[in-house]
Structure 1
Amino acid sequence: MTTPSTSLQKACRLLRALTDARNSRLTDLANAAGVDKASALRLLETLVAEGMVQRDPATKAFTPGPEWLTLHATTVQRTDLRPLVRPALIRLANAFQDSAILSVPSGCESVCIELRLGTFPIRANYLDVGSRRPLGIGAGSLALLAALPDTEVEAVLDGIAPAMRRYPRFSRPMLLGHVQATRERGYAVLLDVVIERMGGIAIALPGPDGYPLGAISIAALNERITDREAAMARALRREADAICQTWHPRAGATPGTEQERPAARPRTREEA
């Protein structure tokens, strides 16, 4: 059995980095992917030639190319959560007037793949579609981390240790404490940690085996969450239950009762 090509691995990391709109310059892409600039340029030029990436001749900015978009369109029909979750995000943003977000796991990171802004004048707009964060950094990301089996939580924390240097308010013991609190509470809350005066509340979307396929969250000013935490938690739980019913309906469930039941900790693989 042959090992993956180092160049191929680097190219994949560059493509992942390119999903974040903030990474369009060569330097930013190289830093985000952990690839030296010379290698990054060579690989990106190859990806441009293959149509996976395109580069603006004037600004020199890199963006996804037509072949990548074709691949994306092919996979959307099979794996895209957005059509299922989008109505829930719209309802949450309308109900609470704050930003509603769908995040999905990608390795040791979470990725924002859908966003609905609320109408409240002060918006928690520090996430854009394509933004990536280490698992645990942010409410939706924390909900995803807490839904993993304990052995995977430990492995993830090992994997994100270098990236956590960018988040001085976070530490391994702190994240483990938040994971435990999230499991006990049934939803994640993070306030004044990632961004000063801003926070989020989130709940995971477990798949049929209990493994998290995504998480929905509301981001807002701290006081807008603390003043309405119970109502937000009920709304998130109600939407999450409805979404999850589409892939694992519970036989004999009585409509309208699930939303009033306290949310249990998502099952781990060992418990499923």
Structure 2
Amino acid sequence: MTSDKENLSAARKVCRILASLSDPKVSRLIDISERTGLDSSTCLRLLRDLETEGFVERDPQSKEYELGPQVYAMHVARVAGLDLQALARPSLIRLARRFSDTAILSVPAGWESVCVDLCLGDYPITANYLRVGSRRPLGVGAGSLALMLPMSDSEVEAVLPRVHDALKRKYPAYSPQHLQEVIARGRERGHSLLVDVVVEKMSGVGVPICSPGGRPIAALSVAALTERIVGREQELAEALKAEAALIEQAWLPEGHVAEHHKMQ
């Protein structure tokens, strides 16, 4: 990597910092400085600006940096050149209109999930604790939990240490054992269900959206008052699965869409 003496533009310096943070081994200021070729004072100044704008986050205890929610919100998971957010928007609208509750689109980001779009229903009490760009550990929230259902056991095991640490710090009522139980039940049913775990008296149902290879690239979910979820679990799950199937059709080879639709 060349040095800061190149007289790089501010934009190129920012790009180098963001690119360096895509490597999980680069998280400390000294690592970022070494990887980018920028002096530590320049890195620190730019990192503070990026943190203010939501493109970088800094752990107050470890002092380590990582990419922030704005990066993931901008990325919005593209598959085969298709914009997943644009593909899913009609589904979110239909779900919110049909059930009058909040419909959410989430994408995976390492051991977390990111809310990249949502649509509020017209029921007076809504799940308004999420916003575009919000991040949660995998398993925290119906959509975030749905992302774990198609994952292999080895993939789940790889993310669990970070997830368990987050549960202990931020969600003490959500035990690692309970997480394992809801993953197992979700795999059996083909959809996730979380009841009164993340927010009291609020619950959700979610389903994964998978790539042609079967990997979870996103999740659709509906969040609402617990009484509105529990009494309609099956209806919600069927509607979510139907919408997920419609989105997945977008990257099927032409001519296979009709056949895929018959199989749903």
The question of a shared fold, defined as TM-score above 0.5 by the shorter chain, is answered with yes
2:102 equivalent to 1:113: no
**Structure 2 gap ranges (5+):** 1-15, 34-39, 57-69
Secondary structure class of the residue paired with 1:241: helix
Could you tell me which residue of structure 2 aligns to residue 159 of structure 1? 162
How many pairs align?
Answer: 218
In the alignment, structure 1 segments of 5+ residues that lack a partner are: 1-6, 14-32, 55-60, 260-272
Change (3 A) 1:73 1:81: closer
Name the residue aligned to 1:223.
Answer: 227
> Could you list the per-position Cα deviations for residues 202-243 of structure 1 after superposition, in whole angstroms to 9, with x for gaps in the alignment?
000010110001000000001101111121111101101111
* 2:46 matches 1:46: yes
Aligned residue for 2:148, secondary structure, equals helix
Residue 164 of structure 1 contacts residue 171 of structure 1 at CA under 8 Å; is this kept in 2?
A: yes
Please state whether the residue corresponding to 2:235 is helix, strand or coil.
helix
Q: Corresponding residue for 1:12?
A: 21
What is the TM-score with the length of structure 2 in the denominator? 0.72
Greater Cα offset, 193-202 or 168-177: 168-177
- CA apart distance, 1:167: 0.5
Instruction: Supply the distance in 1 between the matched residues of 2:120 and 2:41 (Cα, whole angstroms).
Output: 36
| Contact 1:139/1:200 (8 A) holds in 2 | yes
Q: How does 1:245-256 map to 2 (within 5 A)?
A: 245-248=249-252, 251=256, 253-254=258-259
Q: Is 1:125 the equivalent of 2:134?
A: no
The offset of 1:246, in angstroms, is: 1.1
C-alpha distance in 1 between matches for 2:148 and 2:118:
20
State the Cα RMSD in Å.
3.4
- 1:192 aligned residue: 196
CA offset at residue 247 of structure 1?
Answer: 1.3
Tell me which stretches of 4 or more aligned residues in structure 1 moved more than 3 Å.
7-13, 39-44, 61-65, 72-80, 249-259
Percent sequence identity over matched residues?
Answer: 44
* CA displacement 1:142-163 (0-9 Å, x = unmatched): 0001221111111111222221
> 1:96 and 2:105 equivalent?
no
Equivalent of 1:150, from 149, 153, 158?
153
Given that 2:150 and 2:216 are in contact with CA atoms closer than 8 Å, whether structure 1 keeps it comes out as yes
Give how far 1:43 is off: 3.9
Closer/same/farther in 2, CA of residues 64 and 225 from structure 1, 3 Å limit? same
In structure 2, the partner of 1:266 is: none
Choose 74-83 or 166-175, whichever is displaced more. 74-83
TM-score after normalising by structure 1: 0.70
